[in-house]
Structure 1
Amino acid sequence: MIRIAACQYAIELHERWDTYAAHLEGLCTEAALGGAKLLVLPEYAGLVLAGQLPPDERADLQASIAGIQPLLQDWRALCAGIAAKLGVYLQPGSLPVRDADGRFRNRAWLFGPGGELGFQDKLIMTRFEREQWGIEAGKGLKVFDTALGRLGILICYDNEFPMLARTLAESGADLILAPSCTDTEAGYNRVRIGAQARALENQIAVLQSPTVGLAPWSPALDENIGRAGLYVPPDYGMPSNGVIAESLELCPATSQWLICDLDLEEVRRVRAEGQVFTRRDWPEQFGQAQLL
């Protein structure tokens, strides 16, 4: 049994580094005091760093992501320090990163008690990212070996594409982290439904963490809505609707943690003893299906 925490992360304005650092550490400490050993923040949570830029720069879509690049080294050190201090695994949300080729990618790092474990880039861009923001797709999927189990990360829209989660599941991931950022209830539900479908198809667990609240100072994070949730396959020993837990409020005024317990052994047992074998039967039926 592991205790995990997904944040409904309210986008707030922090104009100084020390204020932001204290905010992030305090937030993570709250979850750790609740017993959580894995903490997940949402897609683009790291873009809150843009609050430290001059008002005209943070209000500019392109300038805001360029402006935070000099802060990234200190941000990664901050996240690594928090994970080490609290003895937790921390996925502190994603943020746009300029790579050596000059292109920006939406990147989510994972930190453990012993340091940085690596990152996962978003692979499929939304229309906003591609058409307005100039964020490029990353390449490849990664599975992270931790003391809690094997984890994968699918950022927001990536959860709506079955083969990505399938690749992670076939590579041994029992839990997928799904940091998300959506500005409508429909957008939130698309990711949530995708997360639940991926849990059903692969007989694994999926943990969603969303942004919430209004941030008129940021053209990228101006409106945010969503619930945190932990989803599993609906089967023997699991909730009949596949929902271990969900946040009560759709859009709280402040950041809230959803802290819940997950028994990965029970999830694995479903794959061996469940009412159905969706994970096993997928390739068999997929190979036989033909158009008539």
Structure 2
Amino acid sequence: MTHIRVAAAQYPIEQVQSFADWQEKLTRWVEEAAALGATLAIFPEYAAMELAGIDPERAADLTASLDLVMQFGEAYDRVHAELAARLDIMILAGSRPVRTSDGRIVNRARLFCPDGTTGHQDKIMMTRFERERWGISGGDSINLIHTPIGPVGISICYDVEFPMIARAQAEAGAKLILTPSATDTMQGYWRVRIGAQARAMENQCFVVQSPSVGMAPWLPCMDENFGAAGAFGPPDGMMPDDGVIALGQANGPDWVVADIDLAMVDQLRADGTVLPFRHWPEQHVPFHIIQNGAGSDVIAQMASDAARDDAPVAPQIEDQEIAE
């Protein structure tokens, strides 16, 4: 399957009264996406946190809200799996907090396929809020999820601002990168949006962003939500001049739908006006930094940095092919 229709949610964070109330809302949204003919529906980062509204007192506390939402983890996944099967649609569920076996809390986005298979990606790069105030930890693997439409990568919000994560997924076979996001300012939205478009350009692939929207003063972790859903590709060939395939009206609830031909990725990577995906390795050559007219060879310093225990390492891809 190369021709797909992607529906990206501009999803409003609302105060639900019960799990059944939330389930009714989610069902309505997914049914709308299916009625639009979507192959894949994408929900935003931390969308699961609106479940904290069931207990306003705990919702008002950063730590207690995480603990409350994690209690619904299995039921949350089950609802998405059932909707994917019943409506014959792939669903990237809004990411949710998950406690790992070593006691850390990670931000996990899980993709559900109609045939029952799933795969997930934990957010790698933590924002200052997640690190310094909320106690969320970064994931430890970059994953490639095998789906009926081919390999898919997920770069959650801040992750898409870092080139090597999406690059690892693209090199492993991803032609589509999904970017669920949650940003509390328009500046934050634009940082993610610019990152999404940059990743689409340099990897000659498609990137689709789904943001949370609306005001939720009862939920301090997500009290303000700004953004617009969008689908982006490289500005080349038959793509739009600005690379914007579809874009929503910012800050209101909506589905933004884009028709995408994944075969265009192969065409552009083979015979585009420029070939950044192919030429990427050419960046890794010896270079000199010129300062005040003097050249300083930095290769020795790079080698020294690479030998340090805390130096960045090349990302490793973990394939996810079966139900978990």
- TM-score by shorter chain over 0.5: yes
- TM-score, structure 1 length as denominator? 0.96
Match of 1:8 among 6, 10, 35: 10
Task: Indicate yes or no: 2:258 matched with 1:256.
Answer: no
Task: Indicate yes or no: 2:176 matched with 1:175.
Answer: yes
Match of 1:46 among 45, 48, 52: 48
Q: Contact (CA 8 Å) 2:120, 2:145: kept in 1 or not? A: no
User: Structure 2: how far apart are the matches of 1:290 and 1:23?
Assistant: 57
Q: Contact (CA 8 Å) 1:159, 1:195: kept in 2 or not? A: yes
Taking only the aligned residue pairs, the percentage that are identical comes to 49
Per-residue CA distance 1:211-239 (angstroms, 9 max, x = gap): 00000110111000001010100101111
Per-residue CA distance 1:238-257 (angstroms, 9 max, x = gap): 1111110100x2111xx210
Match of 1:278 among 269, 276, 279: 276
* Runs of 4+ that moved beyond 4 A: none
Per-residue deviation, 1:80: 0.4
Q: Contact (CA 8 Å) 1:109, 1:116: kept in 2 or not? A: no
Unpaired runs of 5+ residues, structure 2, are: 290-294, 296-324
Q: What number of residue pairs does the alignment pair up?
A: 288
User: Structure 2: how far apart are the matches of 1:286 and 1:203?
Assistant: 19
**2:153 alignment partner, SS class:** strand
In the other structure, the counterpart of 2:57 is 56
Per-residue CA distance 1:184-221 (angstroms, 9 max, x = gap): 00000000000000001110110000000000110111
**1:90 alignment partner, SS class:** strand
In the other structure, the counterpart of 2:151 is 150
Q: Contact (CA 8 Å) 2:48, 2:69: kept in 1 or not? A: no
Per-residue CA distance 1:167-188 (angstroms, 9 max, x = gap): 0110000000000000000000
Q: Would the alpha carbon gap of residues 156 and 135 (structure 1) be closer, same or farther in structure 2, given more than 3 Å must change?
A: same
In the other structure, the counterpart of 1:229 is 230
The structure with the largest alpha-carbon Rg is 2
Q: Contact (CA 8 Å) 2:95, 2:107: kept in 1 or not? A: yes
Alignment of 1:1-292 (within 5 A): 1-52=3-54, 54-247=55-248, 249-252=249-252, 255-291=253-289, 292=295
User: Structure 1: how far apart are the matches of 2:30 and 2:118?
Assistant: 18
